[in-house]
């Protein structure tokens, strides 16, 4: 009895599988030959087209060190993610005890001698309207934030920053006219420069920092004042801020010119 | 004409010779499925290549394959790095990766719709019996047993593998987005247990898919030309009485019964079928 029920079940399953599988159209061998010739020709043509297309893409004229089509795609990615940026998005934070060492990954823009009592030149579309001593940031409300600093190379470390929010700094020292979409930040020698969008500029986790892991910044880490934010890769987090310029033209960016995407953000 | 046993057999066999069973082809893979299948190949090649270029740019703590404390090799050996020109190509690696990734995502979404709407998932997701039977498939494929379990479009081992591949591809995409946008998608980063784990998942799934790819190619070579061609043409050519073409032929309501019936009626009506198909094909090629 039990055996019968089992066999019946198996037979039923077999029948279901057959029914499911056996819905394909049946054609004669001759017709198959005709259709398969056509299929293989299309298949081959598409394969060749793909191969040629890839080579054309790789050798295409470049826009800021990236083949033009790929640059176009990166810009569309930027549009998409900029449109999706929402207020209240917060990067993950950590406990101060989780903080790690971090490697000094670049010294471009830091090679000239660090001036004592460096002041930040504040500009609107190229015109300086104020010069703010870097130490003035320390008079603003101080925040301690611990997040994962991410490098475009793939590594990431949990880092503890101390600084003032850029939005507090803007409230105090920003231009009178709030009509700007971008910020360009540059080192005093203008060897290294980054462009920042408005969203990131006003984000609560975007700081002008003067201390790292509890210690004042050293010159190679960006003293006296540097930009840090968990919403951009390290390549955007300018060390040794010398110039802050507000503009409506998207400013260029050191690594953008070398083939990376402008947004470079999370 | 006197009817002999031989005549009867000849009639049964399409009238083209005493022992010959006619070849017919049955549709196995729809055009949509074939497109989605083959798009994966170049897209994943570009994704893996550009991904390796990205991975190369920080090799201080490389992923490695090992058992216990014993390391077999690090990813990737120098010969691979220089052979594939992975060195110092980070910007281009990223540019290719973040452009071509969308093709994989779009293809994946299309495939999900396909699985759901056309009921294709029923061919792929194994039932309990198939999971039990998968052992038999492996034993059969390794020539350890002649016992071949009952199957539908795919055998139990294929069903399990393909289901896992879909899950792996989904993990690959989601971990990719967790790495790509851990700010706006911080919940996704958290779902993977953090950035480092998301990267590890992303890398591991890639390696597993590479292994699947090698196995897949090996199995296709084993299965033979007809199996490969079916993924290009959509049809599987086989003897009319073969279970490979139409498993339901001996039992089912349609399947080969139709053809058998036509064959029984004689060679003339058989050529009618061909003529019909010709007209059908003619519509396509004439336009």
Element (H, E) at B141: helix B128-141
Domain boundaries defined on chain B: 30-65+73-234, 240-274
Pairing type for strands A243-247 and A119-124 reads parallel
- Report whether A241 contacts A227 (CB < 8 A): yes
pLDDT at B1: 39
- Determine the Cα–Cα distance for residues A134 and B74; give it in Å rounded to an integer: 46
- Determine the Cα–Cα distance for residues A249 and A184; give it in Å rounded to an integer: 10
pLDDT at B243: 53
Please give the average per-residue pLDDT across B196-214, as a whole number.
Answer: 96
Alpha-carbon distances, residue B224 vs B33, B45, B160, B229 (angstroms): 20, 24, 21, 9
Q: Is residue A160 part of a domain?
A: yes
pLDDT at B193: 96
- Report whether B198 contacts B190 (CB < 8 A): no
Instruction: Tell me the count of A-B CB pairs closer than 8 A.
Output: 179
Closest by Cα among B72, B36, B89, B57 to B207: B72
Q: Is residue A62 part of a domain?
A: no
Whichever domain contains A131, its CATH number is: 3.90.420.10
> Would you say residue B9 has pLDDT above 60?
no
Please give the average per-residue pLDDT across B252-267, as a whole number.
Answer: 39
Per CB-CB distance under 8 Å, the chain A contacts of B190 are 92
> Would you say residue B273 has pLDDT above 70?
no
> Would you say residue B14 has pLDDT above 50?
no
Per residue in A165-200, pLDDT tens?
Answer: 999 999 999 999 999 999 999 999 999 999 999 999
Q: Is residue A106 part of a domain?
A: yes
Q: Is residue A20 part of a domain?
A: no
pLDDT at A87: 87
The parent domain of residue A181 ranges over 93-247
Alpha-carbon distances, residue B135 vs A133, B108, B124, B144, B214 (angstroms): 74, 29, 17, 11, 21
- Determine the Cα–Cα distance for residues B114 and B121; give it in Å rounded to an integer: 8
Q: Is residue A189 part of a domain?
A: yes
Among B residues 3-32, those touching chain A with beta carbons less than 8 Å apart: 22-28
> Would you say residue B3 has pLDDT above 50?
no
Go through chain A and tell me how many residues it has. Answer: 266
pLDDT at B113: 94
List Cβ neighbours of A6 (8 Å cut-off, separation of 6 or more). Answer: none
pLDDT at A214: 96
> Would you say residue B168 has pLDDT above 60?
yes
> Would you say residue B269 has pLDDT above 60?
no
Number of H helices, E strands in chain B: 12, 4
Query: How does the average pLDDT of chain B come out, rounded?
Result: 80
The CATH superfamily holding the domain B30-65+73-234 is: Transmembrane di-heme cytochromes, Chain C (1.20.950.20)
Q: Report helix, strand and coil shares of chain A as percent, to nearest 5.
A: 35, 25, 40
pLDDT at A3: 63
Question: Which of the residues A154, A200, A231, A253 would you substitute to probe the B interface, choosing the one with the greatest number of B C-beta atoms within 10 Å?
Answer: A154
- Across the interface, of A19, A151, A154, the residue whose CB is closest to B248 is A19
Closest by Cα among A251, A200, A253 to A228: A200
Among A residues 9-48, those touching chain B with beta carbons less than 8 Å apart: 10, 13-15, 17-22, 24-32, 34-36, 39-40, 43, 46
DSSP class per residue in A163-182: EEEHHHHHHHHS-SS---SE
Reported as half-sphere exposure (CB side, CA atoms, 13 A), residue A17 has a value of: 23
> Would you say residue B44 has pLDDT above 50?
yes
Number of domains in chain A: 1
Phi, psi of B176 (to 5 degrees): -60, -45
Closest by Cα among B46, B187, B48, B100 to A266: B187
**From edge to edge, which strands make up the β-sheet containing A119-124?**
A127-133, A119-124, A243-247, A182-186, A193-197
Q: Is residue A31 part of a domain?
A: no
Report which of residues B66 and B40 the model is more confident about: B40
pLDDT at B145: 84
B5: closest CA of chain A, how far (Å)? 26
B95: closest CA of chain A, how far (Å)? 6
């Amino acid at each position: 009895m039990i055996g019968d029920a089992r066999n019946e079940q198996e037979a039923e399953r077999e029948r279901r599988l057959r029914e499911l599988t056996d819905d394909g159209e049946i054609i004669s061998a001759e017709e198959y030959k005709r259709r398969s010739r056509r299929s293989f020709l299309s298949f081959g043509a598409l394969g060749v087209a793909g191969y040629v297309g890839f080579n054309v893409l790789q050798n295409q004229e470049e826009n800021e060190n990236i083949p033009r089509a790929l640059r176009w795609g990166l810009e569309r990615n930027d549009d998409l993610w900029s449109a999706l940026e929402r207020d209240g998005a917060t990067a993950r934070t950590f406990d101060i005890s989780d903080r790690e060492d971090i490697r000094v990954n670049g010294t471009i823009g830091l090679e000239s001698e660090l001036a004592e009592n460096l002041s930040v030149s504040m500009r609107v579309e190229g015109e300086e309207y104020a010069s703010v001593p870097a130490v003035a940031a320390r008079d603003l409300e101080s925040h301690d934030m611990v997040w994962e600093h991410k490098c475009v190379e793939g590594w990431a470390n949990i880092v503890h920053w101390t600084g003032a929010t850029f939005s507090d700094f803007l409230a105090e020292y920003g231009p009178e006219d709030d009509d700007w979409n971008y910020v360009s930040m540059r080192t005093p020698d203008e060897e290294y420069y980054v462009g920042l969008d408005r969203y990131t500029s006003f984000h609560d986790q975007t700081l002008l920092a003067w201390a790292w892991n509890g210690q004042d910044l050293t010159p190679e880490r960006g003293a006296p004042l540097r930009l840090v934010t968990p919403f951009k890769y390290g390549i955007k987090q300018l060390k040794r801020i010398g110039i802050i310029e507000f503009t409506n033209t998207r400013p260029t960016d050191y690594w953008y010119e070398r083939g990376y995407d402008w947004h470079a953000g999370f | 004409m006197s009817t002999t046993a031989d005549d009867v057999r000849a009639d049964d066999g399409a009238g083209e010779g005493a022992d010959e069973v006619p070849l017919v082809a049955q549709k196995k893979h729809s055009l949509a499925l074939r497109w989605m299948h083959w798009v994966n190949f170049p897209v994943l090649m570009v994704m893996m290549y550009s991904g390796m270029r990205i991975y190369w740019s920080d090799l201080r703590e490389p992923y490695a394959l090992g058992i216990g404390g014993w390391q077999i090799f690090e990813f990737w050996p120098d010969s691979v790095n220089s052979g594939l020109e992975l060195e110092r190509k980070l910007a281009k690696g990223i540019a290719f990766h973040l452009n071509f990734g969308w093709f994989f995502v779009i293809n994946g979404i299309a495939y999900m719709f396909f699985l759901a709407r056309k009921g294709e998932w029923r061919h792929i997701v194994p039932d309990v019996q198939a999971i039990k039977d998968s052992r038999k498939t492996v034993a059969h494929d390794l020539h350890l047993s002649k016992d071949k379990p009952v199957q539908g479009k795919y055998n139990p081992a294929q069903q399990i593998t393909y289901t896992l591949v879909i899950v792996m591809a989904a993990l690959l995409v989601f971990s990719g987005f967790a790495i790509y946008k851990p700010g706006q998608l911080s919940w996704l980063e958290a779902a993977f247990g953090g950035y480092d784990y998301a990267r590890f998942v992303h890398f591991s799934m890639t390696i597993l898919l590479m292994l699947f790819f090698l196995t897949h190619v090996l199995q296709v070579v084993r299965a033979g030309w007809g199996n490969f061609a079916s993924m290009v043409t959509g049809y599987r050519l086989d003897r009319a009485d073969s279970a490979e073409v139409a498993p339901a032929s001996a039992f089912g309501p349609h399947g080969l019964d139709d053809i058998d019936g036509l064959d029984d009626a004689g060679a003339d009506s058989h050529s009618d079928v061909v003529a019909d198909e010709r007209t059908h094909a003619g519509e396509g090629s004439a336009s």
